[in-house]
Each structure stands twice: as structure tokens, then as C-alpha cells.
Structure 1
Amino acid sequence: MTVFSNPVRRSVVIGCGSALPARCVTNDELSRTVDTSDDWIVQRTGIRQRYLADAGETTSVLGARAARAALDAAGLTADDIDLIICATSTPDHTFPSTATEIQAALGMRGGFAFDVQAVCAGFVYAVTTADKFLSTGSARRALVIGAETFSRILDWEDRTTCVLFGDGAGAIVLEAQDGAGTSADRGVLTASLRSDGRHRDKLYVDGGPGSTGTTGHLRMTGKEVFRFAVGSVTDVIDEAFRASGTTADDLAWFVPHQANRRIIEASADKLGIAREKVVLTVDRHGNTSAASIPLALDVACKDGRIRAGDLVMIEAIGGGFTWGAALIRW
């Protein structure tokens, strides 16, 4: 058991929540408008359905719903929050930030709010950032949200990408609490982040206000993303284990970004993480980018899998490439 300097202020998860659009779209329904099939999608990705937002279900609307659910689970109100960080690549507007729009929707007048943009790794980046504020005493409680409406940036004539993604939001409430200074403490134990901008052309959006003046559409080289996701991101996971003095055997649950079942299972096998410890929700949500991990966390908390004291690892890779992992004692 690794002993840290005593005492250590930890960022402890005290509530989680999620929100999905009203419309659920199955593979069979999608195959009526896109040249694809349920068998093709399930075999290659494990996805069976996804939720697609309507015009009124914006990223901030979904994010605020998830935030309210997390606050309710924590027994708190917006007035108890000092900080909101929203991870998103599909903001309602170029500015202001989606986080400030959620802040307004919650009726929160104090504190501060901002967005983090690291695509599918955004929630891990946001948790890591919030932990820095809480562990240094700059804030006491934070709402960390992953919210996306990726259906807005999909090319619905590109069957290799449009079948993969869905919309949704998830949130957790983090509270600063003093720990004993060991890896048995509740809260964020350690986190590790990386990026490598040389891989921009493998997963990107072909537009933006500073280049084309348009929103653009998502473009992806699937084989290259798969190869990198399985082969090159173990460094952050190994670093998290070393920093906390833990191993894959100590994990209760592995909650990775929900992009593709084949990627998730191949990564777990490579890391020596038993498949029965992997939380999988890609079949019901599709790839919801920065929202996928908090959506999966909420599912696993509500069905009783994740319990107090469990050691949970979250991990993701996103466009850029960006990637990261964090170990959290629930």
C-alpha cells in the first residue's frame, strides 16, 4: 500500500447522475436510412442502439439534467457547488462555455465554470482538473460533467462513422475530504494524462470557426484509431498503478470510454484486467464521446455494481490524440 504525505486532501465522489435524449434509435431503425445492418454494426462495434437528441435537447440541456440528478444523489443543491467543469466537443455555442450555460440553468450564482475540450478523453481530463482545484483548497465541491450531442456533427451519408455515435450526458459531484494518506483513501488517488497532436488526421472534424467558418463533420480512420487505442495508451494506466501502489488485480471495476466493444475487450486483455470487471454500456448508448464514462459510471452505480470502497479505473482516448486514466476509490 503506497503511503502519501499525511494528511492528503482527496476529491471524493459523493453523487452521480445521467441524462439521455428521449429518442432511442436501434440499428434496425438506422438501417432504413443508412446502408448498414444490425449484424454489421453489432459484429464490428457491439452497439445495438443509441439516443439521438432533438432540436430542443442541446448539450447544455442534457448536461443540466445530468447535473441535477448528480446533485440529488449527493443530497445537495447548486448553491453547494463552487466549480463546474463540462467536458464537451459539441458546445451549444462557440461561446459562452457550455459550463456557464449549465451554471445558469441550475440557478448557481457563485463559483466559476468552464469547459474542457479533449474529445472522448474529456471527462478524464475534467476529473483530473477538478481534482487539482479541490486538492489544493481552491474549491470544496465540483460538478464534473461530460455532455455531447455528436449527432450534430455526423455525416449521415458516411456509414462508417454515423452508426457509431450517440448523444447524452453524465455527471459526478466531487467533494474535498481529508484522507489518511494511503491508497485505501476514498477519492481520486492519481491520474495521468497525455496527448500527441501528430495524430490529428486520424480523428477530427473538418470544420471550425477559425478555419472554415462552418461546424464541419467528424472524420475518422477507424483502423488507425483502433491500433493506437489498443497498442499505445497503456502508459497512463501503468503509471496510475505505479503511482498508487496498486495493480489490475486490485481493481473492482474498469470503466473505459465506450467506443467499441472490441477495443474495450482487447485493451482489458492486454492490461490483464478480467473481463468480468469491465463495465460495458456501448451496446445501449453507442459512443457518446466525453459523456460515455459518466454515463457508464451512473449505470454501474445504480445497478449496484460500484459500491463504496471499490477501486475504479476510468480510461479514455480521444481525437488529437488525447488520452488519460484516473484511479478513484469510491
Structure 2
Amino acid sequence: MNEVYINRIGKFLPNDPISNDEMEDYLGKINDRESKGRRIVLRNNGIETRYYALTKQGKPTHTNVELTANAIRNLLDDEFSGDQIELISCGTSSPDYLMPSHAVMVHGELKNGQSEVNSASGNCCAGMNALKFGYLSVKSGNTSNAVCTGSERMSSWMLADHFNKEVENLKELEEQPIISFNKDFLRWMLSDGAGAFLLQNKPKGKLPLKIEWIEGYSYAHELEVCMYAGSEKQADGSLKSFSDYPSEEWLNQSIFAVKQDTKLLDKYILDKGVESTKHALAKHDITPDDVDYILPHVSSHYFVDGLYERLVKAGLEFTREKWFLNLKTVGNVGAGSVYLMLEELVNSGKLKKGQHIYLCVPESARFTYSYAYLTVC
């Protein structure tokens, strides 16, 4: 089996950073009213700026495919060109199309020559699943390199226009013309962007990162759905697909809106994160003392102190100077967040040979967790 190294990291963030006060200029106001939940959500999540692939008129400036392809292009130069890519493995929770898959569309955009492609669907763990596919391909010798990506373009899903029909329907029914908090909540949480890793079977470049292992855990057998889109949650916790609704209900109920059960999120996301972390570290005989930097993907700074405290209670104290996050300035880019965190850490000048980095990615959709352990070479 080959060793696998992250030799290059690229990113692409669209347009200029957007402040909290500018968000509704881009996303619009539902029913021409300011959101009552916006300030509460933003106060808790601690995000100060984020990026949207939109103009102030709500017009798209980039597709998810273009964001991803641009991040990959930022890996390439005369020493490693697009026609040398043997595998493109892409993860996202916001593909531009139901079909074809995201990865084949990225391949088509790049026009880099023959490549194997893989698309990882899901939510935040989709980027890690794409990474694991590339890691296993290089490790097994199936390919000598792989380009892995995590990306999101959620802003176009959050535009006010997508919710106005539901509000109009509520007015006709003489009900309160306000969309539910589980839909409004996520309008102030999610951001756009893409990151890309070049994986190779030999270390190259100034500061290659050896992937020691990648682990994943799902709790779908225990817990019901927490975050979903293209469906509605039923009283028994099951999901009813958009394809089983009359098409007029797609607009009347904002079926395609991204929704989150915040009560389930608060109840389980940290505890299952600690449980799965214990499993991953014990499997590989690793302790927090073996970690120099922990990169936790969190959707909100609201969870940071709670996660730290629960880890300490479980006997897993990653001291606070080891924590590296960029949520405040980049926002929550879902499947792309861990790529963007690692890119920023690598370019910070803080890393030294022999140090170890622990990547932690939770996914609230049905409570899935992914972890990776890296060595700086």
C-alpha cells in the first residue's frame, strides 16, 4: 500500500466578503420584512463575514461547478497540469443539478483530459467522503494522484423569492405570513466557496501533509433526520420526498428549502461528536497529546465551548491553543469548510515538520462524523 500526501491545497471564494448587515441586500427580504431571527442567529453563530456567488440583485455570479473548477485550477501550474489528474473526487451538499453528478460536470468544466470521477453526496461530510475516496485510490495504487474537493453554493437556495409563494399561500389561508424558524435559521448560517486538495503517492512541495488515516461514523440507525431539503418531515420522523408531492406544493410549502430541526441539533450534535471522536482516537491509539492542531468544522461558535467542555469531561482535552477555526471570516461552507480551514492553516506559517493535525467534521443531516489525522512532513 502506498503512503498518501496532500501536496497542494487550492481554494476559491467568490466576490468580496459580505458583512452581517449586507446579507439581506443579497438574499432579499421575505414578504418585504426584515427577518426576526436574523440578529439572534448571527449573534450566536459568531460569523462576521461570508462569501456569496451572487450580485446584490440576487443574480448568480458562479455555479457550484465553477467554484469547484476554480479551486482545482488554483492547484495547477507547469509542474502539475490538468491533464495529469487521474481522479477527480468531489463532495457537496448543494450540486447545481439533480443529475448529472457534480463531479462529471466539474470534469466537463475543466476539460483537462481523461480522468476517473467520483461524486460524494450528503452534507458537510461529503467533502471528507470525497477525500477518503481519493485517499483510498492513491493508497491502493489504483491511481498515483487524486484531486479531491469540497464546495457549496447555498446562497441561491436562500433567496427570498424562493419563499414568497409560501408566504402568499399563508396569507390566503389567513395564517401568519412568516416562514418557520427551521427554514429561516439556515438563511443566516450558510456560505459559498470551494477548496481542493492534490493527493499524491510521494511527498512534494514545501510542506506536504501525510494522511495517516480517515474514519467515518454514522448514527442514522439511532437518530432521525435533523437537516433536510427536497422533502418534508412527517409526524413519525420519516421524510416525504418532493417527488411524492403535487408540483404546486413544491412552492406552496417551500419543499426544496433547506430545513433543520434545531432541537435535535442541540440535543445530539455534540454528544455524538464526542462519542465518535473517542472511537476514532482509540482505534488508532491516539490521544490529544498527539495532536498539535485540531480543526473542528462547527456551524456556529455557539457550539465551540460546549464541544470543548464535553471533550474534557470525556477525558479528551485538546487545549484551546490547539484549536484552529476560520468560521468568523469565511462562514460555514459546509462540505468545503475543512478544506478552507486547512488551506488557511498551511499558509499561516505556523506549521512545523513532525506536527500532527486532526480534522473533525460533523454532519447534522442524520448525525454523521468524519475524522482525519495528518502529519506535517
Same fold by TM-score greater than 0.5: yes
TM-score by length of 2: 0.76
What amino acid maps onto 1:51 in structure 2?
A: Y
The corresponding residue for 1:59 is 64
User: Matched residues in 2 for 1:36 and 1:279: separation?
Assistant: 31
Say if 2:165 is the partner of 1:176.
no
Structure 2 counterpart SS, 1:170: strand
User: Matched residues in 2 for 1:133 and 1:42: separation?
Assistant: 40
> Equivalent of 2:211, from 164, 188, 193?
188
The corresponding residue for 2:371 is 325
CA deviation digits over 1:153-202, x for unaligned, max 9?
Answer: 33746432211111111111111239xxxxxx952212221223354532
User: Matched residues in 2 for 1:307 and 1:159: separation?
Assistant: 43
Q: Tell me whether 98-107 or 115-124 shows the greater mean CA deviation.
A: 98-107
Give matches, 1:23-34, under 5 Å: 23-30=16-23, 33=29, 34=34
C-alpha displacement at 1:211, in angstroms?
4.4
User: Matched residues in 1 for 2:343 and 2:209: separation?
Assistant: 18
User: Matched residues in 2 for 1:202 and 1:259: separation?
Assistant: 14
Say if 2:291 is the partner of 1:254.
no
User: Matched residues in 2 for 1:308 and 1:237: separation?
Assistant: 25
User: Matched residues in 1 for 2:85 and 2:219: separation?
Assistant: 33
The corresponding residue for 1:69 is 74
C-alpha displacement at 1:297, in angstroms?
1.1
C-alpha displacement at 1:75, in angstroms?
4.3
Say if 2:319 is the partner of 1:278.
no
Structure 1 counterpart SS, 2:124: helix
Say if 2:342 is the partner of 1:297.
yes
Q: Which is higher, the Rg of structure 1 or of structure 2?
A: 2
Q: Where does structure 1 lack aligned partners over 5 or more consecutive residues?
A: 1-7, 179-184
The corresponding residue for 2:236 is none
CA deviation digits over 1:35-58, x for unaligned, max 9?
Answer: 258863443111112111122311
Give the RMSD, CA atoms, in angstroms: 2.5
Structure 2 counterpart SS, 1:323: strand
CA, structure 1 residues 24+328, in 2 after alignment: closer, same or farther (shift >3 Å)?
same
C-alpha displacement at 1:283, in angstroms?
0.9
The corresponding residue for 1:160 is 185
> Equivalent of 2:95, from 86, 91, 94?
91
User: Matched residues in 1 for 2:142 and 2:12: separation?
Assistant: 29
CA deviation digits over 1:221-277, x for unaligned, max 9?
Answer: 223213322111223322332333321122121112241112234323414111221
Q: Tell me whether 155-164 or 114-123 shows the greater mean CA deviation.
A: 155-164
Say if 2:159 is the partner of 1:133.
no
Contact 1:82 1:141 (8 Å CA) reproduced: yes
C-alpha displacement at 1:307, in angstroms?
4.5
CA, structure 1 residues 141+21, in 2 after alignment: closer, same or farther (shift >3 Å)?
same
TM-score by length of 1: 0.86
Contact 1:186 1:309 (8 Å CA) reproduced: no
What amino acid maps onto 1:60 in structure 2?
A: V
User: Matched residues in 2 for 1:239 and 1:144: separation?
Assistant: 25
What amino acid maps onto 1:133 in structure 2?
A: S
User: Matched residues in 2 for 1:37 and 1:24: separation?
Assistant: 22
CA, structure 1 residues 167+96, in 2 after alignment: closer, same or farther (shift >3 Å)?
same
The corresponding residue for 1:20 is 13
